[in-house]
Amino acid sequence: MHRDRAASSQRWHIQVSPRRPDLDGHGRDVLADVRQIGLEHIEGVRSSRVYLLEGRLLESDVRLLAEELLCDPVAEVFEVREGFARRDDIDGAIEVHPLPGVMNPAALSTLDAAGRLLASQGRSQARVEAVQTARRYVILGARNAPELEQIAARVLANNCIETWFIRGFGRSDPIPDALPTPRERPFELRHIPIRRLTDDELTRLSREAHLFLSLSEMRTIRDHFDKLNREPTDLELETLAQTWSEHCVHKTFRSSIVYRGEDFGRPGTIEVRFDNLLKDTIVAATAKLNRDWCLSVFVDNAGIVAFDEEYGIAFKVETHNHPSAIEPYGGAATGVGGCIRDIMGCGLGAKPIASTDVFCLAPPDFDPTRLPAGVLHPRRVLKGVVGGVRDYGNRMGIPTVNGAIYFDERYLANPLVFCGCIGLIPRDRILKEPRFGDLIVVAGGRTGRDGIHGATFSSAELTEQHADEFSHAVQIGNAIEEKKLLDALLIARDDSDGCLYSAVTDCGAGGLSSAVGEMGAELGAVVDLEKAPLKYAGLRYDEIWISEAQERMVFAVSPDRIDRFLSVFAEEEVEATVIGTFTDDRILRVRYKGQSVGELDMAFLHNGLPRTVRTASWTSQPRSSTPGCYKTVTSDIANDTLLQTLSSLNIASKEWVIRQYDHEVQGRSVIKPLVGTGFGPSDAAVLRPRYTSYRGIAIGCGLCPEWTDVDPYWMAVRTIDEALRNVVCVGGDPERTSILDNFCWPKCDCEESLGALVRACRGASDAAVAYGLPFISGKDSLNNEFSMSADEARRTGLPQSIAIPGTLLVSALAQIEDVRHCVSMDLKEPGNRLILASAPVDRHGMEKARSIHHLVSHCIRDGKVRSAHDVSDGGLATALAEMCIASGLGAVIDMPQEYDRHSMFTPVATTYVLEMKQVDADASGFPIIGQMTNLPRLSISQGASRWIDLGVEEMARAWRSPLAQGGGH
């Protein structure tokens, strides 16, 4: 955020504040959070923005900047002071500054805009050299300095990326009087002696250097370099660690596994060997189904299916769990940004048209006194991840159209953040291949020290210390940089002379090391690291190579197109720089200022990883047949049970979150996340990708980790069933539905936990084959466990090690021939009949279940269905209640005699509630369970016995209140 600075620089502090307290919405927001942490006596919070300026600036220059650029003359007032260390005597002021080196997009924009303004006003003597932005708060009613410290640490700032200065009650933290200047470091090539190390020493090196490699992997590397008769450089070791990380190669999923235990979906025990778990289950299902509309599966950054003659749809879902645990806002934002880049870097580039997001978190009302050290409170995590998705997605102009939030205490220290992105790609832009002689171009944001060790970090188990040790793995996003990069990429892709590059990929985990290493795997590459543009001086060569600084992509550009390519990027104000060349010797050569800093054989880098054979087991012990969290009916009238179910966190309205996302930008939205006059929960989103056609896509998801506790096999089957039901409900075609898998699992270091994963994989592949749903892309995140000291466990009353429940997210993408035939879940017309379409899912049932999905879909697409809703969490009673809430209309239900009232709240797979006109209902062959009424009341009975009788308003209140303010207030 600075240019070269002169010795005579002057420093100015500009504070911009709301003119009146009623204009200080941010202050009110902070006040609510402060009271939430128990400081009820705080009377008010006044917020201000602060700009710290360095440069050749007179006071009149600074006032001009404040008046004409930084301060709104109607809504705000400003104060200008010389020097950064404010001298005021207000008790209770807190100033929050970003830590040095942390990405600050607002400071960059301000530096640029301030320079332009001074120039346009003819102030040629003036010069802004550096800008930092900060936030300032005055806490009214605080009683002492420790309270201020608590507010700063728990509400205002995150010490991974920010620092704070407190004034008041005798405390006066010294604010540094100058912005930090990066230190130049002399070049020094470092080798890591490894050839003589014992097993113990190898293990220690892996841990201390944050390589997270196993002993057998360390031995393989030692032997490789021993054969070469030299020691590896630090860069070589880092490159291997990144490339071989669980995050990048999915060692567990690709390992060879012998499974012994309960059979899959039928009684008895078996022993079976998987040569490669992923290939033998998920990938095999897709191969078996062999659909010609799957255009690109499991080979690129995203899966691609055909949309129409000209276009394909790309879909990818990523996780960003570990970074979000430490810094929820930045972690979620860069998760969104990274997944969008996967779509931009898929084929020769797809245009992102929608995003999805799913969070698994601990309940926001978790007792704060039981929070383990090093863990953020779930309410803060929720606010942070929602804010991150909101700010990145909205700024990119990509609608966030579908998602879910699932609460379970076991996600306390390992929140899960799934980010999905969908893109539209011309079918003649799917194939890419870098060629010998192509130049390697890095484009987009500059490289900084942010996000170092992200790939290896995300493959590790979290501990109390991780928040400190890995704060450098935190990344802060700059959505506008990525938007510019997207604009430039699409112009270069669609150049009138054809695509201006031969391949592209995003710079994600592992940074340049992964991007260049993967792109050049079949060729070889030579890279000159000093050419990479840097955010600030002082980065070492290995830091440049593995930095995960955001908003960067790597292109392969033929030398005869490079001038045109660079000029397109320059016009869009996106920095693009040639840093190397693809060769043909299958060697990765990395240089810094002409000197070799790494030379790795591509064959060893990509194929040298030792394969492991592991054993897995699963004993069929008596387990409960349904998850413990489900409610059963205990009294004759179950009104209270329904109200409690509607206001349970997993079912309650997520409107507070959804309204913070722009879900309509780009104008493609057909079925929105909130539907009907009562804003009911839509089963899936529908989009119209091309303005010139009514052909559409439906996007939905399935998630039921509570079933993992019963049996991961059936959990996976149910999850796929749920994802399919959701897209079928809005009008999606089950014959043209593809799915994506995201496994988030605890450690798989023992036979039983690996056995659980094996069962989930088999359940997923069996259901995919039975339902005819090819997997097109997937990702996994393992080791989602947290360990704490025995003392800490005693203090909090939590187990010393907390493992998440094995979690599988299945995202579904269905085609829709004509979106004008779609339906939503809100009830439409009094007098219409409600029918129940269902089939049991068991080992005999998957074929039957498949036929139900298809029958329901035909009824919908034939225009016979006025509304449709999937029966999932909370069972049939909840589904009916939600349909009433969404429309403000009522229903009278009379259940058939054979229906067991105890299952009213149990989620049953393959079950739909459909609204039809009487004549269509009669002809449908499905049982009619009731009819709709004008009276806004839901009554459910069986003959003379009344089970539920509740007004719609009362149900709506129960459903809306729990998360109305993000779980607070």
Looking at the Cβ atoms of 54 and 711, the one nearer to other proteins is 54
Looking at the Cβ atoms of 72 and 275, the one nearer to other proteins is 72
Q: Is 247 a catalytic residue?
A: yes
Looking at the Cβ atoms of 396 and 503, the one nearer to other proteins is 396
Indicate which single residue of 269, 567, 677, 851 sits in contact with other proteins (rule: CB under 8 A). 677
Q: Which residues of 921-939 are buried (b: 16+ CB within 10 A; e: fewer)?
A: beebebebbbbbbeebbbb
Indicate which single residue of 322, 449, 688, 937 sits in contact with other proteins (rule: CB under 8 A). 688
Which one of the spans 101-109, 180-188, 542-550, 838-846 is the region binding other proteins (CB under 8 A)?
101-109
Q: Is 320 a catalytic residue?
A: yes
Cα separation, 627 vs 408, in Å, equals 13
* Alpha carbon 573 to its chain's center: 28
Looking at the Cβ atoms of 662 and 711, the one nearer to other proteins is 662
Which one of the spans 222-230, 282-290, 389-397, 615-623 is the region binding other proteins (CB under 8 A)?
389-397
Choose, from 2, 13, 224, 247, the residue flagged as catalytic.
247
Q: Counting contacts by CB under 8 A, is residue 480 touching other proteins?
A: yes
Q: Counting contacts by CB under 8 A, is residue 109 touching other proteins?
A: yes
What's 706's DSSP letter?
Answer: G
Q: Counting contacts by CB under 8 A, is residue 822 touching other proteins?
A: yes
Provide the minimum distance between the beta carbon of 874 and other proteins in the complex, in angstroms, as a whole number: 23
Q: What is the dihedral of CA 644, 650, 651, 656, to 10 degrees?
A: 110
Q: Which of 575, 435, 406, 580 is nearest to 501 (CA)?
A: 435
Q: Counting contacts by CB under 8 A, is residue 446 touching other proteins?
A: no
Looking at the Cβ atoms of 626 and 666, the one nearer to other proteins is 666
Provide the minimum distance between the beta carbon of 707 and other proteins in the complex, in angstroms, as a whole number: 32
Q: Counting contacts by CB under 8 A, is residue 496 touching other proteins?
A: no
Provide the minimum distance between the beta carbon of 505 and other proteins in the complex, in angstroms, as a whole number: 23
Beta-carbon neighbour count of residue 843 at 10 Å?
14
Q: Counting contacts by CB under 8 A, is residue 520 touching other proteins?
A: no
Q: Counting contacts by CB under 8 A, is residue 88 touching other proteins?
A: no
What's 820's DSSP letter?
Answer: G
Indicate which single residue of 820, 844, 858, 902 sits in contact with other proteins (rule: CB under 8 A). 820
CA triple 152-50-2, angle to 5 deg = 110
Q: Counting contacts by CB under 8 A, is residue 670 touching other proteins?
A: yes
The β-bridge partners of 305 are 294, 313
Indicate which single residue of 823, 883, 904, 956 sits in contact with other proteins (rule: CB under 8 A). 823
Q: Counting contacts by CB under 8 A, is residue 675 touching other proteins?
A: yes
Which two tokens mark 56?
Answer: 């050749």
Which two tokens mark 336?
Answer: 């969104």
Cα separation, 592 vs 248, in Å, equals 25
What's 231's DSSP letter?
Answer: P
* Alpha carbon 764 to its chain's center: 22
Q: Counting contacts by CB under 8 A, is residue 72 touching other proteins?
A: yes
Q: Which of 952, 877, 862 is nearest to 913 (CA)?
A: 877
Q: Please give the helix or strand (H or E) that residue 948 lies within, else none.
A: strand 945-951
Cα separation, 472 vs 569, in Å, equals 30
Q: Which residues of 349-364 are buried (b: 16+ CB within 10 A; e: fewer)?
A: bbbbbbbbbbbbbbbb
Indicate which single residue of 520, 676, 732, 806 sits in contact with other proteins (rule: CB under 8 A). 676
Which two tokens mark 965?
Answer: 């303010």
20 to 27, 71, 95, 156, 802: CA distances (angstroms): 11, 14, 20, 21, 47
Q: Counting contacts by CB under 8 A, is residue 479 touching other proteins?
A: yes
Provide the minimum distance between the beta carbon of 16 and other proteins in the complex, in angstroms, as a whole number: 9
Query: Among residue numbers 564 through 583, which ones bind other proteins (CB under 8 A)?
Result: 571-573
Provide the minimum distance between the beta carbon of 610 and other proteins in the complex, in angstroms, as a whole number: 46
Indicate which single residue of 3, 5, 26, 56 sits in contact with other proteins (rule: CB under 8 A). 26
Indicate which single residue of 285, 554, 658, 684 sits in contact with other proteins (rule: CB under 8 A). 658
Choose, from 320, 377, 466, 606, the residue flagged as catalytic.
320
Q: Counting contacts by CB under 8 A, is residue 864 touching other proteins?
A: no
Provide the minimum distance between the beta carbon of 824 and other proteins in the complex, in angstroms, as a whole number: 4
Indicate which single residue of 324, 334, 356, 394 sits in contact with other proteins (rule: CB under 8 A). 394
Contact 575, 519 (CB under 8 A): no
State the DSSP string of 77-144: EEEEEESSS-----TTEEEEEEPTT---HHHHHHHHHHHHHHHHTT-TT-EEEEEEEEEEEEEET--S
Q: Counting contacts by CB under 8 A, is residue 626 touching other proteins?
A: no
Q: Counting contacts by CB under 8 A, is residue 110 touching other proteins?
A: yes
Looking at the Cβ atoms of 57 and 865, the one nearer to other proteins is 865
Looking at the Cβ atoms of 28 and 273, the one nearer to other proteins is 28
Q: What is the dihedral of CA 850, 853, 856, 858, to 10 degrees?
A: -70
> By the criterion CB under 8 A, which residues form the site for other proteins?
23, 25-26, 28-29, 68-70, 72-75, 105-106, 108-110, 113, 116-117, 120, 390, 394-397, 478-480, 483-484, 487, 571-573, 658-667, 669-672, 674-677, 688, 691, 694, 819-820, 822-824, 826, 828, 867
Catalogue the active-site residues.
247, 320
